[in-house]
Chains A and B, each alone.
Chain A
Amino acid sequence: MSRPRPEPMQVVKQRRDAALAALVNSVPYIRFLNINFDRRGDELTGQMNFDQKLIGNPFLPALHGGATAAFLEMTAMMALNWQHLWPKIESGEIDPADLAAGKLPRQPKTIDFTVDYLRSGLPRDAYARATVARSGRRFASVRVEAWQDHKDRPFAQAVGHFLMPQGEDKRDVKKG
């Protein structure tokens, strides 16, 4: 028995990066906060690029807790989406070109989100990584942590519950 030849690296990378870029670019609020995602295999790291408009306390100065919360929620949601879509992207069921053209699968919905502010966010770039603790047919639970200078000194962490998209197939049919 011989296994099929692995695809050329550029083909694999191009497909994965195109799918990720399409997902990220589709959300105006991700662009507004100037968040981008770095991909290593299937692992994503969010980066919120610092800008004066993210400041919540101009006297310290410190990042706005709301910007931090949004960054964490975005990263959690993206990790969940990515985990959900990865097998479909890899199998060819989802074409990155379709994603880029705006044919996006339904997004999970946030049920609740709890942010733990550990220290004040400094006026510089922030990074975050999420772990999908559980992803079921209806519900998912995701943990996420954000840091700045030191990975082992997070400035905020959060846990969120999400409602997974239901009846995906029906909607695909309706959209033709």
Chain B
Amino acid sequence: MGEKSQLARQFIEAIPHAQELGMVLTDIGDGTAEISMPYDVKLIGDPDTGVIHGGAVSALMDTCCGAAVMSHPEAPGGTATIDLRIEYMRAATPGQTITTKATCHHISRNVAFVRAVAMDEDRERPVATATAAFSVEAKF
């Protein structure tokens, strides 16, 4: 793992909100990141079905997109979300871990563009996708 990925990993693992939601960084490097979030009853949005709230998926997507930006070889430091759009394709199956993969597909001096996808254990049918723009900061 490069020094950049190491720094990004340290940063992501120090985020209180990500820790609180049980997020685990499973892969990072070269502008891509993978983070998983185990099912937890506190994340439920629909008490009738036990389906996780969309907001928890947003938090996972946002964290993963940010991690992908920070791990990009051309990113000098930290980042902040400018805009995040999430499309919810289906309800995540209750009880299953959600895994997000994000790719920073373009970066300029000021802006990084990211796409992400969230899956539960059924890897054929995504739960949600995201498109985001992040700022490129000089420092952490």
Residues of A within 8 A of B (CB): 26-29, 31-33, 52-59, 62, 64-67, 69-71, 73-74, 102, 104, 106-107, 109-117, 120
Contact = CB atoms under 8 A, between A and B. Distances in A.
A115 B58 CA distance: 10
Given A112-B85, A113-B86, A115-B83, A64 B53 contact: no
B83 A66 contact: no
Interface of B: 14-21, 41-48, 52-56, 58-63, 66, 78, 80-88, 91, 140
Counting from the closest, the 4 A-B pairs by CB-CB distance are: A66-B59, A70-B55, A64-B17, A29-B53
Interface of A is mostly: mixed
A71 B53 CA distance: 11
A59 B42 CA distance: 27
Nearest to A53: B20
Contacts of A28: 41-45, 47
A120 B134 CA distance: 13
A67 B17 contact: yes
A2 B50 CA distance: 49
Contacts of B84: 65, 69, 114-115, 117
Contacts of A58: 14-16
Nearest to B63: A66
Given A64-B62, A65-B84, 20 more contacts: A27-B46, A28-B42, A54-B16, A55-B15, A57-B15, A64-B17, A66-B55, A67-B59, A69-B55, A70-B53, A70-B59, A74-B55, A104-B47, A107-B45, A112-B85, A113-B86, A114-B83, A115-B81, A116-B82, A117-B81
A141 B14 CA distance: 36
B17 A66 contact: yes
A66 B14 contact: no
